[in-house]
Amino acid sequence: MDSRFLGIHELVEVDVPSVAVVVDVMRAFTVAAWAFGQGAEKIVLAESLGEALALKARHPDWVAVKDGPPAPGFDTVNSPGLVRSIDLGGRTVVQKTTAGTVGALAVKEASLVLCASFVVAEATARLLRTRGCDGVTFVVTGEDGQADEDLACAQYIARRTTEVGTDAAEFLRRAGASRAAGELAEGVRQGVHPDDVALCLELDRFPFAMVAAVEDSLLVLRSCAVA
């Protein structure tokens, strides 16, 4: 399998990828996986805070999530430690964050878009294996493609797709030593639960992959059971 690792801004220089894996470990796609774990039916990835609020206004039963501090109109923030205690059974979530949701929207034209983090790493690799994907573009969403928690996770999934026995330890160590992990632990970022970093480093917490596709002009993320 040919893998390339690009930041969001580098995507404008390449053709639309056939298969894209958008990685955001801290915290968008760890939060998304927890939302599905808590029963969410689907997650709409919003283009802007304004669109998220407009969708929430149109669908008051939807659960609106943003990163950073809490804000009027939003139900909660982009924190796995907080989302894990919300019952989302059958609900639609609308999520807007700085990096993860932006990265997914940047590749929405790809034939297959997966959103990933360590909590769904093996399921993501298994889906790539079963689909027989030979060229995969990994979108490293954080820090213009330099975020080591995202790059480490992307490299781990890429390796794991072809070498099933790949050990995660060194990749998880890098993520735990990343700038994002430090900022979350030190309280630099807002909307944080004390367990967030540990939850983002919980390998294969969930058995499903997460597939994004355009539905009625919205980019919708759904969990996908992988045999």
Q: What residue ranges bind Mg ion (CB under 5 A)? A: 24, 26, 99, 142
Dist. CA 20–CA 5, nearest whole Å: 10
Q: By CB under 6 A, is residue 154 in contact with ligand L3UKIRZJ?
A: no
Closer residue to ligand L3UKIRZJ, CB minimum distance, 64 or 133: 64
CB of 27 to ligand L3UKIRZJ, least distance (A): 4
Interface residue with ligand L3UKIRZJ, options 11, 19, 20, 26 (CB under 6 A): 26
Neighbours of 52 (CB within 10 A): 24
Please check whether residue 21 is in contact with residue 124, taking contact to mean a CB–CB distance below 8 angstroms: yes
Please check whether residue 37 is in contact with residue 89, taking contact to mean a CB–CB distance below 8 angstroms: no
Strand partners, 95: 45, 65
CB of 49 to ligand L3UKIRZJ, least distance (A): 12
Q: Mark 27-56 with x for binding to ligand L3UKIRZJ (rule: CB under 6 A) and - for no binding.
A: xx----------------------------
Which tokens hold the place of 156?
């781990």
The candidate with the shortest Cα–Cα distance to 83, out of 99, 98, 95, is: 95
Q: By CB under 6 A, is residue 99 in contact with ligand L3UKIRZJ?
A: yes
H or E, element range at 216: none
Q: Give residues in contact with ligand L3UKIRZJ (CB under 6 A).
A: 24, 26-28, 67-68, 78, 97-100, 142, 189
